[in-house]
């Protein structure tokens, strides 16, 4: 099974990706984690990526594609993968198609989480983080004492990435660069849409049912 999780930041891809791959069998490939791991390991592609990151620049498509395809071709992903955060644009999607074709593999499905912008802003802007990295949410997971971590009593902060104006800028980039992938995969009959505003358990049940159906279709 080769799957892609698609949707805006804050749509719940990480939560569902972890749940989907918890049983094993599928390699969970998260773009940000792959970049950080390659930089830490000092691989050739990691060194190149670090130079861009240190300069505050976006890592070029060709480097990101190279890092992801390394993992896709790895022994850990031989039985399948779930990609989260890749592809980010149609050019990356086309590069992935070409690489999978070379490996004699195909995408089984693209799992798209549909969430309105206002809901994304509400979700992300409500996050607060402790010095140790513990994450709270003002609505869904508030601290016992406002503004203070339950565990160590340190002040909770709102990260710059979680400020409403920053979130809307990230969403604008998503709509311009990543959202065209929805039509790209829909035209190939690979897109499966989920209501990302539904409770996480409901989304998970729908997701697992869809993946089970895709497994049966793949086995035919």
Catalytic member of 159, 169, 209, 215: 159
CA-CA-CA-CA dihedral for 91, 94, 100, 105, to nearest 10:
140
Identify the active-site residue in 71, 123, 127, 128: 127
> Can 168 be counted among the known catalytic residues?
no
Active site residue 19: no
Token readout for 139 is: 């609505």
User: Could you say which of 13, 71, 123, 128 is catalytic?
Assistant: 13
Q: Is 163 a catalytic residue?
A: no
Is 127 a known active-site residue? Answer: yes
Of 36, 122, 170, 208, which one is the catalytic site residue?
Answer: 170
**DSSP letters along the chain, please?**
-EEEEE--TTSSHHHHHHHHHTTSSSEEEEHHHHHHHHHHHT-HHHHHHHHHHHTTPPPPHHHHHHHHHHHHTSGGGTT-EEEES---SHHHHHHHHHHHHHTT----EEEEEE--HHHHHHHHHTEEE-TT--EEETTTB--SBTTB-TTT-PBPB--GGGSHHHHHHHHHHIIIIITHHHHHHHTTT-EEEEETTS-HHHHHHHHHHHHHHHHHHHH-
What count of other Cβ atoms lies within 10 Å of the Cβ of residue 126? 16
Tell me whether residue 128 is one of the annotated catalytic residues. no
Q: How far is CA 132 from CA 99, 135, 187, 211, in A?
A: 39, 9, 45, 36
Catalytic residue positions?
13, 88, 127, 159, 170
């Amino acid at each position: 099974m080769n799957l892609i999780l698609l949707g805006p930041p804050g749509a719940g891809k990480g939560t569902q990706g972890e749940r989907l791959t918890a049983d094993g069998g599928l390699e969970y490939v998260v773009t940000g984690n792959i970049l950080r791991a390659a930089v830490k390991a000092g691989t050739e592609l990691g060194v190149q990526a670090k130079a861009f990151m240190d300069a505050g620049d976006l890592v070029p498509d060709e480097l990101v594609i190279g890092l992801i395809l390394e993992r896709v071709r790895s022994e850990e992903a031989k039985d399948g993968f779930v990609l989260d955060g890749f592809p980010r644009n149609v050019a990356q999607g086309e590069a992935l198609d070409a690489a999978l074709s070379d490996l004699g593999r195909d995408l089984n499905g693209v799992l798209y989480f549909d969430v309105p912008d206002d809901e994304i802003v509400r979700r992300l802007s409500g996050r607060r983080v402790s010095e140790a990295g513990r994450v709270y949410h003002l609505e869904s997971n508030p601290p016992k004492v406002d503004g203070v971590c339950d565990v160590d009593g340190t002040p909770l902060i709102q990260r710059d990435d979680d400020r409403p104006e920053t979130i809307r800028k990230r969403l604008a980039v998503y709509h311009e660069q990543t959202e065209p992938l929805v039509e790209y995969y829909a035209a190939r009959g690979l897109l499966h849409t989920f209501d990302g505003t539904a409770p996480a358990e409901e989304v998970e049940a729908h997701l697992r049912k869809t993946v089970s159906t895709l497994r049966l279709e793949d086995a035919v």
